C-alpha cells in the first residue's frame, strides 16, 4: 500500500505472555521491540535486510523514539504494525508507526529516527546507494 512519496508495510505480531505486566497491558517499553520488527520487515519488503546493512559496515543506532499510547494491547492479541516511510534515507531515516489490534482499533502511533554510522570509524555517514535506490523505487 503506498501513495506518491509514501510507502507503508504491515507486519503482524502476537503478544507474548512475558510482554504483559501486572496491569495486564503490554508493557510500554515492549513497543520499541515491536517497532523494530516493523521497520526490519518494511526494509525486507524493499529487498534490504538490516543484517546486510550491518555486514556492509553500517550501524543504525536510534536517535529518537516517540510513542503516543492510545489504547493498551493485551496478552495473545494479534497486532498489526503499519510502518511508513515518507522520504529517502540520507544521513538519517525516519519510520512512522501505527499499531492496531484485531478489531482495527488504533493502539498507538509513533516515530523512530535512526542515523547511519560507519562501524569502523564510529562516525555518522550517508545511507548506502543501494538502500537509497530501493527506497526510490517505492517513493518515486
Locate 137 and state its grid cell. Answer: 523505487
Near a copy of itself by CB under 8 A: residue from 47, 56, 57, 68 = 68
Q: Which of residues 110-129 bind a copy of itself (CB under 8 A)?
A: none
Q: Which listed residue (12, 27, 78, 133) binds a copy of itself by CB under 8 A?
A: 27
Residue 49 engages a copy of itself in binding (rule: CB under 8 A) = yes
Compute the distance between CA of residue 10 and CA of residue 47 in angstroms, rounded to an integer.
15
C-alpha cell at 79: 497486532
Q: Which is nearer to a copy of itself, 44 or 138 (CB)?
A: 44
Question: How many separate helices (H) and strands (E) can be counted in the chain?
Answer: 3, 8
108 exposed, middle or buried (CB, 10 Å; 0-12, 13-18, 19+)? Answer: buried
- Shorter beta-carbon distance to a copy of itself: residue 72 or 128: 72
Work out how close the CB of 53 gets to a copy of itself at its nearest, in angstroms, rounded to a whole number: 11
Which residues, at least 6 apart from 14, have a Cβ–Cβ distance to it below 8 Å? Answer: 76, 77, 78, 79
Asked if 22 interacts with a copy of itself (CB under 8 A), we say: yes
Active site members: 21
Interacting residues toward a copy of itself by CB under 8 A: 14, 16-18, 20-25, 27-33, 36-37, 40, 49-51, 54, 59, 61-70, 72, 75-76
Amino acid at each position: 500500500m503506498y501513495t506518491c512519496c509514501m510507502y507503508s508495510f504491515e507486519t503482524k505480531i502476537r503478544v507474548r505472555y512475558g510482554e504483559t505486566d501486572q496491569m495486564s497491558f503490554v508493557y510500554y517499553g515492549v513497543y520499541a521491540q515491536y517497532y523494530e520488527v516493523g521497520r526490519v520487515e518494511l526494509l525486507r519488503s524493499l529487498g534490504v535486510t538490516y543484517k546486510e546493512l550491518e555486514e556492509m559496515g553500517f550501524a543504525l543506532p536510534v536517535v529518537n523514539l516517540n510513542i503516543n499510547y492510545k489504547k493498551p494491547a493485551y496478552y495473545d492479541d494479534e497486532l498489526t504494525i503499519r510502518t511508513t516511510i515518507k522520504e529517502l534515507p540520507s544521513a538519517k531515516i525516519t519510520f512512522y508507526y501505527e499499531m492496531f489490534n484485531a478489531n482495527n482499533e488504533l493502539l498507538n502511533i509513533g516515530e523512530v529516527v535512526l542515523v547511519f554510522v560507519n562501524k569502523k570509524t564510529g562516525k555518522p555517514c550517508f545511507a548506502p546507494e543501494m538502500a537509497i535506490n530501493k527506497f526510490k523505487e517505492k517513493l518515486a
